[in-house]
Amino acid sequence: MTTRKGQNLGGVLDFAGIIRRCRAVDESDPDTCLEWQGAHCVRGIPKLWFPPFQSTVGLGSVMCFLHTGKRPARGECWYARCLNKSCGRPDHWKKGTLSQATRRSPRKNPALHKAKVTATRRANAKLNEEVVAQIRAGGGTLMEWAKRLGVSHSTVARARTGEHWGPVGSLTSSVFEWRP
């Protein structure tokens, strides 16, 4: 089957088609998230052209159709229970309301996201626990670290302050620890 633009969907009309377009985050864990490898919207939610709807829709709408056989009802929202917006594993998606999905967002409930999976489980991560420990313990400016690691200075700042990385080893994350 092809899309209106001539792109092959690869059988995306079933769960196996969704899984084929994803990559496992951790191959050793059978229940790991499957990262969506297709297009994403501005908010980072996976999107695709879905022939039954004759439009480009989010992965949540596709999951609803595959689970129930119809479009999501008004006020109904399908979201990933695993807190990974790009997860393509069908059993990680749950039916709920928009307010339930919003309550799980990092801005509304930061305590829920403290126990996130570390970035080292991501296949394309440029930082790991050892590098973050060096950033926090060593001197140097954000720009020096960013150039050395090939990341943005804001990524280094978030790792240093603990915004994206919690405690690493016995180190605590404080913005004042690295200052001379």
pLDDT tens column, 81-102: 877 778 888 888 889 888 887 7
**90 and 21 in one domain?**
yes
What sign does the dihedral 80-44-22-65 (CA atoms) show? positive
Counting every residue written for the chain, the total comes to 180
8-22, 81-95, 124-138: range with lowest mean pLDDT: 8-22
Pairing of strands 76-80, 93-97: antiparallel
**105 and 138 in one domain?**
no
In a domain, 9, yes or no: no
> What local confidence, expressed as pLDDT, does residue 168 receive?
65
In a domain, 3, yes or no: no
How many CA within 13 A on the CB side of residue 11? 6
- 62 in Cβ contact with 88 (< 8 Å): no
**141 and 106 in one domain?**
no
Q: 138: domain range?
A: 118-180
Question: What is the rounded distance in angstroms from the CA atom of residue 61 to the CA atom of residue 41?
Answer: 14
Domains identified in the chain, total number: 2
Taking phi first (over 0 means left), then psi (-120 to 50 degrees means alpha), and beta for anything else, what does residue 152 get?
Answer: beta
- 59 in Cβ contact with 48 (< 8 Å): yes
**24 and 84 in one domain?**
yes
What's the pTM? 0.53
Question: pLDDT, tens digit, for every residue of 136-149?
Answer: 887 788 899 888 88
